[in-house]
Amino acid sequence: MNQTPQRPPELLSEASVDALLRDTTPWLSCEECFERMDAYAEAVVLGGGAAHDEAMARHLSACPACDEEARSLVELLQAG
């Protein structure tokens, strides 16, 4: 991956904020997180809330590396 983050994507849906305020115990390993990241990013881009993945959200809120990867992916999808 080699995307340059330009500006923070507007990902702070209600669900994201809610997840941030809750227990941040990672429910997924980073590997599991990466496996689901494509679908997760698509759900975020296509309308978020309805397809909210709580386990993913919790992992991302607790894992800056995956969070950054997810944001990059979302930016990529939004740009395309």
Distance CA 73, CA 40 (A): 10
Residue 56 is a binding residue for Zn ion (CB under 5 A) = no
Closest to Zn ion by CB, 39 or 47 = 39
Distance CA 78, CA 27 (A): 27
Question: For Zn ion, what does the binding mask look like between residues 15 and 34, x meaning CB under 5 A?
Answer: ---------------x--x-
CB neighbour class for 37 (10 Å; exposed up to 12, middle 13-18, buried from 19) = buried
Residue 51 is a binding residue for Zn ion (CB under 5 A) = no
Contact residues for Zn ion (CB under 5 A)?
30, 33, 63, 66
